[in-house]
Amino acid sequence: MLSWFKRDKTGPHERSGGPAPIRQNFDVSDAKELLKEIKGEYGLDYRRQEAITVRKLERFAIKNGFNSFRELFAKYRDSERTKRSLINALTVGETYFYRELDQIEAVAEHIRSNRCSSILSAPCSSGEEVYSILLYLHENASIPPSLHITGIDINTDSLAAAERGCYSQRSVSQLPDSVKESCFFRSGEEYCIDRLFKRYASFVYKNIFDREFTLLGKFDAVFSRNMMIYFTDEQKREAVSRLRSVLKPGGVLFLGHADVSFTPEGFEKVHKGRTTYYRAIY
């Protein structure tokens, strides 16, 4: 009997002291070529997480019936559908309501005192950032009737979740109970946002490096938090310059705390309460 409890439960690769090698017909140099193409198109530079990302590519390839990275790469170039589902598998959309609340407060105050009508959340992931701004305004002032918040992202699963507007307990855990009770309805375990808020928001598939990105329009404020972690410094500068190009004169930019280590060009720093943001100066 006891021998059952003592049985070795480790998998074969754990017993041999490491993960299983990448399958033989999956040539890692092809995976690196694919990652280079992804970096050029989306700014996502996975070189520091190369081993783990190659492993993700392998899992994606096997699950989707590809026999090599080369086959996957060819389909990636050929099929928008494959490209989007691979990008969905690679991009991390970790986000939650009232993340860095100081910044939400500051943008709400900016919207209120400058009668702003257009805000961009780039990237919005599953929509918590967009709805957080609306919830905060609703709770602490009112939502200006002409306000519209556009959320963009390259992860289509996240965008679909944003449209749906239903969230886990974990995602809403920073919200006051009063907000959870009055601004959401329960659907099973999920909290679904009242459709009153959806009226002020739209979610669009857009890569910040797309040529057409600048055609999105002009915004009073841009929120860009926690997207640039995988960008090189050069791509971060390019991203900031693109975000600046969609700001109205005097418009403001909010960045995540760990996003850039340089002072963005063409902006002046604004210190407001416990937060800092950037105002476009020319």
Ligand X SMILES: C[S@@+](CC[C@H](N)C(=O)[O-])C[C@H]1O[C@@H](n2cnc3c(N)ncnc32)[C@H](O)[C@@H]1O
Binding site for ligand X (CB under 6 A): 42-44, 91-95, 99, 123, 125, 129, 152-155, 158, 207-209, 225-227, 256
Nearer Cβ to ligand X (44/247): 44
- Beta carbon of residue 259, minimum distance to ligand X (angstroms, whole number): 9
What is the CB neighbour count within 10 angstroms for residue 37?
14
Nearer Cβ to ligand X (42/76): 42
Nearer Cβ to ligand X (223/267): 223
CA 62, CA 114: separation in Å to the nearest integer? 52
Nearer Cβ to ligand X (129/220): 129
Closest residue (Cβ) to ligand X?
95
- Beta carbon of residue 245, minimum distance to ligand X (angstroms, whole number): 15
- Beta carbon of residue 51, minimum distance to ligand X (angstroms, whole number): 21
Nearer Cβ to ligand X (150/155): 155
- Beta carbon of residue 139, minimum distance to ligand X (angstroms, whole number): 19
Bin 277: left if φ > 0, else alpha if -120 < ψ < 50, else beta: beta
Nearer Cβ to ligand X (38/111): 38
- Beta carbon of residue 127, minimum distance to ligand X (angstroms, whole number): 9
- Beta carbon of residue 239, minimum distance to ligand X (angstroms, whole number): 8
Q: Which of 120, 106, 109 is closest to 218 using CA atoms?
A: 120
Cα Rg, the chain, nearest whole Å: 22
What is the CB neighbour count within 10 angstroms for residue 7?
7
CA 213, CA 41: separation in Å to the nearest integer? 13
- Beta carbon of residue 19, minimum distance to ligand X (angstroms, whole number): 26
Beta strands in the chain (DSSP E): 118-121, 148-153, 166-167, 184-187, 190-193, 201-205, 219-224, 247-255, 267-272, 275-280
Nearer Cβ to ligand X (44/72): 44
Q: Tokens for 102?
A: 């100081």
Element at 186 (helix H, strand E): strand 184-187
Element at 120 (helix H, strand E): strand 118-121
